[in-house]
């Protein structure tokens, strides 16, 4: 499998998925993605503070564009933050590839790949999101897999009949020889939403970070 960097580009005129209010039926409409041989850019992703419940712009120690990708910092002790796609996307019968890593500050923090149905919804409200994967640093909670800081994780998510099948591996994606650390199936409330990577319940405070290096949605 060839790996590229991709940008999520919305099509305003033809893609009904760009609407804020959307039904699963809209997934029958085409979704426009353009392949780019470049790193992710901040214009396609938004930082949301779980502390202030507001969007924040690029700034050091909050939301940064680095040589490794887009990096977010948890917004305070036992608070969190997320990096979510600017527009809603349709995921039914799609496959997502997400390459990411964390820094835990030697403390317990939660790291998830999620789908948010409400762009501005509070991360602690399960009605506004579904966590497709959930990992923690330092120690396990509620049977979570404990992951290491400064290690790249490769999460492949396939959505079939409203269920997200997520396989996370190290070294590479599982379809390209990576070593699997978790495989889970998660029913989605909807198959459209804002894809997000998030850090939550951050005992590490602002020392807890998450870096998104690669993101791709494809048909296979």
pLDDT tens for 128-158 read 899 999 999 999 999 999 999 999 999 999 9
pLDDT band at residue 44, thresholds of 50, 70 and 90? Answer: confident
Does residue 113 lie in a domain region?
A: yes
**How many domains in the chain?**
1
Nearest to 69 by CA among 95, 90, 98: 98
Does residue 83 lie in a domain region?
A: yes
Does residue 1 lie in a domain region?
A: no
Does residue 20 lie in a domain region?
A: yes
Does residue 170 lie in a domain region?
A: yes
Residue 7: strand pairing partners: 34
The whole-number average pLDDT for the span 24-42 is 43
Q: What is the pLDDT of residues 67-113, one digit of tens each?
A: 999 999 999 888 889 999 888 888 999 999 999 999 988 999 999 99
Does residue 156 lie in a domain region?
A: yes
- State the Cα–Cα distance between residues 8 and 45, nearest whole angstrom: 9
- Tracing tokens 């650390």 back to the chain, one arrives at 181
Q: Beta strands 179-187 and 163-170: pairing type? A: antiparallel
Does residue 168 lie in a domain region?
A: yes
- State the Cα–Cα distance between residues 185 and 174, nearest whole angstrom: 15
Range of the domain at 110: 6-218
The pLDDT assigned to 105 comes to 87
- State the Cα–Cα distance between residues 133 and 87, nearest whole angstrom: 21
Token pair belonging to 185:
């199936």
Q: Which CATH number fits the domain that encloses residue 122?
A: 2.60.120.560
């Amino acid at each position: 499998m060839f790996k590229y960097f991709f940008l999520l580009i919305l099509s305003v005129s033809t893609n009904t998925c760009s609407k804020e209010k959307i039904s699963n039926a809209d997934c029958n409409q085409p979704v426009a993605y353009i392949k780019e041989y470049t790193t992710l850019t901040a214009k396609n992703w938004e930082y949301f503070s779980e502390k202030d419940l507001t969007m924040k712009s690029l700034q050091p120690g909050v939301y940064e564009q680095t040589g490794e990708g887009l990096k977010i910092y948890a917004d305070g002790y036992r608070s969190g933050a997320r990096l979510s796609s600017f527009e809603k996307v349709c995921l039914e019968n799609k496959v997502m590839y997400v390459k990411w890593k964390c820094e835990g500050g030697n403390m317990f923090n939660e790291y998830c790949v999620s789908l948010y149905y409400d762009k501005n919804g509070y991360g602690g409200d399960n009605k506004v999101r579904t966590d497709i994967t959930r990992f923690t640093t330092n120690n396990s909670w509620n049977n979570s897999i404990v992951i290491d800081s400064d290690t790249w994780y490769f999460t492949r998510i396939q959505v079939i009949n409203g269920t997200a099948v997520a396989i996370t591996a190290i070294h590479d994606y599982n379809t390209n020889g990576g070593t699997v650390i978790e495989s889970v199936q998660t029913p989605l409330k909807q198959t459209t939403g804002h894809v997000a990577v998030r850090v939550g319940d951050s005992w590490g405070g602002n020392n807890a970070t998450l870096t998104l290096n690669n993101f791709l949605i494809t048909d296979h």
